[in-house]
Structure 1
Amino acid sequence: MTIAVKYFARYREALGCDHEEVEGDFATIEALRLCLVQRGGYQVLTEANLMCARNEELCKLDEPLVNGDEVAFFPPVTGG
């Protein structure tokens, strides 16, 4: 399966890219995240408050994935 992955805010800065396509068999966003972390250089994705979205809808890491999904990772949003 192919998953389009986008990185926002300081995650984009830390990784030096704003998107990539990842090939693999990922049942959930958590499985995708773990794969990225294991590749090395993705430690920013281990943060406890990591937020994610699947196909532009906020979700949790246990969200299931299917071929062609788009996943976004971003830090918590704060406002005032």
Structure 2
Amino acid sequence: MATSRNETEDLAAQIEAIRAEMQNMSATMGRIAEKGMHRAQDKALETKESAEEAIKQNPLQAIAIAAGLGLLVGILTRR
């Protein structure tokens, strides 16, 4: 009976250790995801600023590209 009690206590301790490790891993994954999200936001902002600058430098080319893309999307969605 004592052996069974010791095994039960050992099993409970192992389960608690696994639970604590899973919580730690979850917190770590959350931090990693948050850093990735911030990097993606920074990259999107850089891309937006770069696009705005390109449009300011070449407004006619930007209008032509936008019109061409609009025409292409229109043709593809009609089918």
Give the TM-score band, short-chain normalised.
Answer: under 0.3
User: Which of the two has greater strand per residue?
Assistant: 1
Larger radius of gyration: 2
TM-score, normalising length from structure 2? Answer: 0.16
User: Which of the two has greater helix per residue?
Assistant: 2
TM-score, normalising length from structure 1? Answer: 0.16
